[in-house]
Structures are given as C-alpha cells and as structure tokens.
C-alpha cells in the first residue's frame, strides 16, 4: 500500500536500512525481495577495499528514494554538519536525524535531538527524527515543525520488538495527522505487524534483516507482514473482550442439528 510524503509516493511502507549485510550481493537480493518504499543510508559507511562504489551502484540501481541519516552522531553540531553534507551528496532535503545520548542503549538525547531539529528545519530540511516514545518530546518536535515522528520500538539492533505498546498507542492517538514510523528494535515480522495494526504508517528496520539466518527470505517476510498489518488496521480489528461470543447464531439451530 503506497504512502505519500510530500509529493513523493512511496510504493511500500517498509523502510529498509542498508548496513551490516553479509555481502553486497545479499544486500541487493534483500532489497529485491523486500521492495521497500525507502532505503536509509549513512554517510559514515566504511569505504574499504573498494566496496563503497559497489554499494552505491546497488542502491542507485533500484531507483528507490533514499533517506540519508546522521547515524553515530552524539552532538548537535556534528549532526547538523552531517545533515548538510548529506544534502550535498543526495541533493535532497530529507534527513533521518539521529543524535544519540547513551552508548549502551543508543537512546536518543531528547534535548540535543530537539535542538538539532529546530536548526535543521530552519535550514530547510524535512526532518525524520529518531526518538523515544516520549509523548512530551513528540509534542515539542511537532511544534518545531516535524510532520513525521519516528519513535523506537526498542533499542537499535536489540530485536526486542515493541517494549511499550501503551506509549506507542498513545502517540498514534494523539497525533492522528502525523506520519508515524516505528524505527529501531523490531526483531520479527510479528513485531512489525503489531505496530501496523496499531495504525502506524511504516516500519524502519535494518538489523532484523541484515543479520537474519537468511536475509533475503526475512526481507520478504517483513514486507508481507507489514502489508498484512496495514490491511488489518484498515479493515477494522475487532475489540478484545473478557467473555466468549458464539460465532454461530443462537436464534435458531442450524438445520443439521434439528431433532428428528
């Protein structure tokens, strides 16, 4: 199901990261299997042994929109400078903004994130902020001009899924007109489907595919789960209840149960 961001139509609600794949060929096959709507790329990728050019050739060959990110940045100035470099390289104002605050959890620094967001929006960027699921932070980022919010499900690369479903549901309820993307911590297709069933607009993931036993099959599985989750949300999922409800009407018995 397509997703509209500004005037760009993304053909899938799966946003796929491009780091830590076993090989360039596995990366290529995984992208082909997932058919993502967006590819995320870090300017900090290591260009060793001539592999960098092959990586860029693969990315360009798919003609899929690219979202550069400021992965690995811990300070406001560093993140803003990296974003400006990305704009020159990709000729795009889109930026996934990461400003980390903790080495252990890779949790975003909310104060630096907001500061960097305000500076980049003033410079004409469309900021995709990687954030925690904190409601007040979301409100401040929205007030700063963010049309897209990207709360984590769990720490980057942890594979823990949705640590705080309640907080994620509250964000969806409080920001019905914003594009919300679960970014980080997704480990299994069921995690992605659960977020989409809440009404999230897209899922951004990397490690769950790149480090899977079979990245290509996992990429395909995630694409299917995200599509299924979105369709379920749009179809209207029944509300859970405490008691059972018979699926067979009790007004009258079916003819095959009638006594002779």
Q: Which residues are catalytic?
A: 96
If DSSP states are collapsed to H, E and C, what string results for 139-194? HHHHHHCCCEEEECCCCCCCCCCCCCHHHHHHHHHHCCCCEEEEECCCCCHHHHHH
Q: Which residues pair with 108 in a beta bridge?
A: 100
CA distances from 196 to 130, 225, 237, 240 (A): 18, 9, 12, 17
Q: Which two tokens stand for residue 39?
A: 């590819």
């Amino acid at each position: 199901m397509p997703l509209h961001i500004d005037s760009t139509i993304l053909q899938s609600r799966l946003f796929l990261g491009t780091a830590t794949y076993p090989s360039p060929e596995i990366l290529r096959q995984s992208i082909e299997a997932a058919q993502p709507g967006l590819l995320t790329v870090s300017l900090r990728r290591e260009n060793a042994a001539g592999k960098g050019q092959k990586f860029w050739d693969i990315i360009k060959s798919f003609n899929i929109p690219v979202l550069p990110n400021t992965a690995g940045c811990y300070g406001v100035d560093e993140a803003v400078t990296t974003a400006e470099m990305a704009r020159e390289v990709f000729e795009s104002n889109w930026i996934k903004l990461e400003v980390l605050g903790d080495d252990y959890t890779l949790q975003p620094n909310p104060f630096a994130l907001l500061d960097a967001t305000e500076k980049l929006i003033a410079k004409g960027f469309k900021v995709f902020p990687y954030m925690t699921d904190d409601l007040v932070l979301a409100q401040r980022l929205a007030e700063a001009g963010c049309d897209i919010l990207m709360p984590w499900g769990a720490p980057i690369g942890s594979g823990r899924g949705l640590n705080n479903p309640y907080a994620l549901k509250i964000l969806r309820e409080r920001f019905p007109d914003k594009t919300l993307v679960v970014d980080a911590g997704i480990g299994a297709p069921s995690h992605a489907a659960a977020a989409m069933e809440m009404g999230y607009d897209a899922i951004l993931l990397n490690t769950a595919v790149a480090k899977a036993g079979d990245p290509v099959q996992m990429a395909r599985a995630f694409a299917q789960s995200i599509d299924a989750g979105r369709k379920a949300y749009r179809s209207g999922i029944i509300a859970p209840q405490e008691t059972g409800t018979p699926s067979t009407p009790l007004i009258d018995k079916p003819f095959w149960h009638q006594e002779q």
